[in-house]
Amino acid sequence: MKVLILHQHFNHPVKGGAIRSYYLAKALIDKGFETVVITGHNEKIYKNEIIEGIEIHYLPVAYDNKFGFAARSFSFLKYNWAAIQMANKIQNINYCYAISVPLTIGLVAMWLKTFRKIPFLFEVGDLWPDAPIQLGFVENYFFKQFLFFLEKKNVPVSQSCCGAFSHDRNNCQKENGITIDDTSDPQHG
């Protein structure tokens, strides 16, 4: 079985940063699943490598926490477009695991479900869209409504939902009745 992991900010131990999704990919490999990751990186060219059995596609999509709202939004949308194009080239995907941050990753997973009939699990990785709204990063009323629409749209069409926070788990359970309380590895964070 081939599992596609969509995570714009995928890291591995050598690279550093948050590596929880690496441990998820590694656990899938260890259980015998073929695991493919589509992620972004700050280089100007596409790169493909295999690390510990994980096939990783690095898309040239710049991102920095210092980016302003417009640059972040552009980065998220550019990643989505490039991820759809890359996923189209990958054959025999049986399942998709979409990890939010950003929430827009659900658009790629929904596209795969609609046009390629690939079921997906949607992991809500942080308090989206509540956190950026409460922090004042998103002030436009219509854009706020769009983000809440995305949140509501992703959860019910996913086969299952994983929420990192109790608020997210409650939303997942209300929408589709299936939740996974915690996929983190307490040993590795």
What whole-number distance in Å separates Cα of residue 79 and Cα of residue 62?
A: 9
What whole-number distance in Å separates Cα of residue 82 and Cα of residue 167?
A: 30
Phi (first) and psi of residue 71, to 5 degrees: -65, -40
Average pLDDT for the chain: 84
Containing 48, the helix (H) or strand (E) segment is: strand 47-51
Tell me what the mean pLDDT of segment 29-40 comes to: 97
Domains of the chain: 2-180 (3.40.50.2000)
What whole-number distance in Å separates Cα of residue 112 and Cα of residue 120?
A: 8
What whole-number distance in Å separates Cα of residue 38 and Cα of residue 140?
A: 31
Rounded to the nearest 10 degrees, how much is the dihedral formed by the CA atoms of 146, 136, 83, 116?
Answer: -30
pLDDT score recorded for residue 125? 67
Tell me what the mean pLDDT of segment 145-162 comes to: 72
Tell me what the mean pLDDT of segment 136-145 comes to: 87
50, amino acid identity: I
pTM for the complete prediction?
0.83
Count CB neighbours of 55 within 10 A.
18
State the DSSP code for 157. Answer: H
For 44-73, the pLDDT digits (tens) are 999 999 999 999 999 999 999 899 888 988
Per-residue confidence at 162, pLDDT binned at 50, 70, 90? Answer: low
What whole-number distance in Å separates Cα of residue 164 and Cα of residue 5?
A: 17
Instruction: Residue count of the chain, please give it.
Output: 189
* Residue 33 contacts residue 3 (beta carbons within 8 Å): yes
CA 167, 152, 98, 118 torsion-angle sign: positive
